[in-house]
Chain A
């Protein structure tokens, strides 16, 4: 925004610099559970943006004065790597990343069942490894997948997407040049289940009609394209490993999987777990007596 150049952002055929149509997103790839040591994690490639998100918690909040005795707090940190942009970025928090961290914290807190974890904190770390306009949307998209992956109870996922105006046209998901030399950028995040807006910003100028068009483009893309990818990434994390191992067994051993266990059995085990422990207890005391 604000930059001036002779660059033609939209050509005579209505196509953009990277060949996209006005209402087309960049290619998106989402993966859940990519980090072993975090409680939950996600990796998002959004065009040329690359974001890694990690979630820790709920855990005890420190220092003590930040604790809320009624609910958990959500502390999200958005950080750009020094090498994420063309000219080396000076590392560390700056005005921009502090602001983004704050609004993402608030957006995530809106869906988290914080009342279940008084005095605790849920820490979300988003690292932008490569930036190409729209990193906050990619970051919040990754963050919500990471939180779900961490097993944190939420009222829904959060999906980010941006729209804006460049070359005098309202377009979806601005790329780097469109962001730099365009007229407006509207990043937003919604809760797909309810359609609630949990994050909305605007940079530049739009008429009310243009804003409404941009808002519609971004929410529809978030709902119809990005959200299904988030859900798919989460389900694949568990389903894929299931298949892999099943295939591995069928290939590797003489006897394939002998019988099918149903979800019911898993639940049975959950209910039996306590009995199991009671059994353990008796064993342990028996052994104690024997010693």
Chain B
């Protein structure tokens, strides 16, 4: 399945492959039959695609992403949300689970409120549509929100959710990781603090080997000190 297992870091313009059998995947581009890296990241060959898994970069929304947004502007029939991406994201009254009268938007969601929303669609011109009308999506009324680079979101979740369940079990908190790098944590203040510390550790050491085990060790040592 995979032909390259080295953790090779590539920078924009690095030649990835000149094989005609391979296709240019994410974070790459093709020129004169050769494939080059477009972004700083880790080179990865998967199937017949060459990809660059980015190590940095802004979050770009895509349909289906669960993100945490903050209301920054209110219109008579919509809200504008900051979802940590280069574009403002409108949430229309038709896409919320309440019946909102025209001009009555502020009664439901006000500026500064945080919401867990889903990206409904993003068109070619990068215009975004959000929705709150699905199970699990809601206004976040308690807990804390922290931010990490969105490129590290997969590390906080871990392989099939291993890291996130580790965090939840050890810290006894409710956690939601938005694809845009915002993380919502709720629970007892001390538990939240511990979870935040652990997530900061993941952020700091995101690309280092054996992360899950080290986070586990960290959480265990903290638990021991407490008891």
| Residues of A near any B CB (own CB < 8 A) | 39-40, 57-60, 69, 111, 113, 117-120, 148-157, 191-193, 230-231, 234-235, 238-239, 241-242, 245-246, 249, 253, 255, 257-270, 272-277, 279-285, 287-288
Interface size class of B (residues with CB under 8 A): 35 or more
* A273→B157 contact, CB < 8 A: yes
Output the nearest chain B residue to A235 by Cβ-Cβ distance. Answer: B9
Q: How far is the CA of A151 from the CA of B14 in the complex (A)?
A: 14
Contact across chains for A267 and B179 when beta carbons are under 8 A apart: no
Q: List 17 A-B contacts (CB under 8 A).
A: A151-B58, A151-B151, A153-B27, A153-B38, A154-B39, A155-B38, A230-B11, A234-B11, A257-B210, A259-B210, A266-B207, A273-B153, A273-B179, A280-B66, A280-B157, A281-B136, A284-B176
Nearest neighbor of B138 in chain A, beta-carbon distance: A288
Nearest CB of B to A247, in Å: 10
Closest to B7 in A: A263
Interface centre among A156, A272, A280 (most CB of B within 10 A): A280
Given A153-B38, A156-B12, A242-B207; A266-B136 close (CB under 8 Å): no
Q: When chains A and B are docked, how far (Å) is the Cα of A111 from the Cα of B39?
A: 12
Assuming the A-B contacts A191-B13, A272-B159, are A263 and B8 also in contact, with contact meaning beta carbons closer than 8 angstroms in the complex? yes
What residues on B are CB-neighbors of A39 within 8 Å?
56, 58
Number of cross-chain contacts by CB at 8 Å: 193
The answer to whether A148 touches B11 (Cβ under 8 A) is: yes
* Cβ B155 vs Cβ A269 within 8 A: yes
Contact A258 B210 (CB under 8 A): yes
Contact across chains for B5 and A263 when beta carbons are under 8 A apart: yes
Does the CB pair A148–B210 fall under 8 Å? no
The answer to whether A266 and B154 touch (CB under 8 A), given A148-B11, A238-B207, A260-B210, is: yes
Is the C-beta of B158 less than 8 angstroms from some C-beta in chain A?
A: yes
In the bound assembly, the distance between CA atoms of A272 and B162 in angstroms comes to 10
Give residues in B with beta carbon < 8 Å to A.
2, 4-9, 11-14, 27, 29, 31, 36, 38-44, 46, 51, 53-58, 64-66, 86-88, 116, 125-126, 135-136, 138, 151, 153-155, 157-161, 164, 174-177, 179, 204-205, 207-211, 213-214, 217
Alpha-carbon distance between A285 and B158 when the two chains are bound, in angstroms = 21
Whether the Cβ atoms of A157 and B87 lie closer than 8 Å is no
- Most interface-central of A58, A151, A264 (chain B CB within 10 A): A151
